[in-house]
Structure 1
Amino acid sequence: MSANDDRIFLKRFSLVIVALAIFAIVMILVAFQFHKTLGQHDNPARVEAISARIQPVAGVYAGETGRAAAMAAAETASAGAAPQVAFDGSLDGAMIYDRVCAACHDSGAAGAPMLVAADWTDRLPKGEDTLVDHAINGIGVMPAKGGRSDLSDEQVRASVEYMLAQVQ
């Protein structure tokens, strides 16, 4: 091979590279043109979901105007439907225990006392009202109302009374 052959190769190779670069630029320009003509069609459900996510969590009320807005918001909230109560307000302690309390109290999870007298010897002397208060407000790792904030205080009391009847 001679130096002349190398020059011819480099000349042809550089022409191929330049042609490919020009072809790539033309393809990019064509793609931009198609993109402009298609336009944007957002999914309405997606737009609604984005709007819901960027809504403020709470309002900021300042001065008399803010106070009026806060009062109007409070009236609107209170005029809405009454809060839902778990299990249609049933006071069946056994049913509430089975559906809420049994998850921890049947297995002793996280130190929950099981329904055996030995687990309740230090708790029973505190009295039923104290036990109900602990069940409503939570104690230790037990969450308030067993993690079901939709339970009424009466439902929690019925469940505690059922548990105590099973222990004795």
Structure 2
Amino acid sequence: MANMVMTCGGNVRAYDLAFLKRFSMVIAFLVLVALVLALFAHHLNSKVQYPADPVAKQKTLERIAPVGAVYAGATGAAEQAAAAAAAVAAAAANVPFGGRTDGAEIFNNGPCTGCHTNGVGGAPKLDAAGIGARVAQQGIDELVKKAISGFTGTAGVMPPKGGNPALTDEQIRAAVEYMVAQSKK
């Protein structure tokens, strides 16, 4: 009986060794196939030419653009004047209403009318009790200052420039003067 166990154990050991040898060869083969596939994929990827992304290219150009410019001599003065004129033109192009200071146009088409027509959020209406009372208490210059910088009252909040920061101070003054004139009608 002892012989039988030993013989049986010896066969199991030989069987395990044969299995491990074959399993190791299969694993080595699979690793080799994976390595060959990875190298082939790398080779194919290096052959493909991808088009440049215009958005990424533009962001890169914006990131590496010079912060300022150096102007020297007579040609530098001319370039500096041209750059200043271009900056003024670009700033004027971004001003609402084309830079016009018509108070009625700014009030009716801008952010003012949404709150001041109906008194939303405690905004004073265009009547003697609303804007008329405020101008009598504080004066028009104080109202313009609060309209430009914003105001937090007991009933609500008015954001700076009525929520449109692109408006100029002159446009805000024109809108406030229009509102005051409407309160006297």
TM-score above 0.5: yes
Which position in structure 2 is the counterpart of 1:149? 166
Q: State the distance in 1 between where 2:85 and 2:99 align.
A: 21
Output one character per residue of 1:15-61: Cα deviation in whole Å (capped at 9) or x when no partner: 11000001011111111221222244323x235313333134722x7
Secondary structure of the residue aligned to 1:54 is: helix
- The residue that corresponds to 1:124 in the other structure is 136
What value does the CA root-mean-square deviation take over the aligned residues? 3.3
Q: TM-score, normalised by structure 2?
A: 0.64
Q: Give the letter aligned to residue 101 of structure 1.
A: C
Partner of 1:17: 27
Rounded Cα–Cα distance in structure 1 between residues aligned with 2:24 and 2:102:
87
Q: Indicate the residue corresponding to 1:37 in structure 2.
A: 47
**Distance apart, 1:122 and its partner CA:** 5.1
Taking a change above 3 Å as real, the CA distance of residues 55 and 140 of structure 1, as seen in their structure-2 partners, is farther
CA pair 152-36 structure 1, distance change in 2 beyond 3 A: same
Q: Which residue of 1 aligns with 2:83?
A: 77
Count how many residue pairs are aligned between Structure 1 and Structure 2: 157
- Alpha carbons 1:94, 1:162 under 8 Å: kept: yes
Moved more, 93-102 or 24-33: 93-102
Percent pairwise identity: 31
CA distance in 1, matches of 2:133, 2:169: 27
- How many angstroms apart in 2 are the aligned matches of 1:101 and 1:73? 41
After TM superposition, the score normalised by the length of structure 1 is 0.69
The structure with the larger Rg is: 2
Unmatched tracts of structure 1, length 5 or more: none
> Unpaired runs of 5+ in structure 2?
1-10, 153-158
Residue identity opposite 1:157 in structure 2: R
What does residue 98 of structure 2 align with? Answer: 88
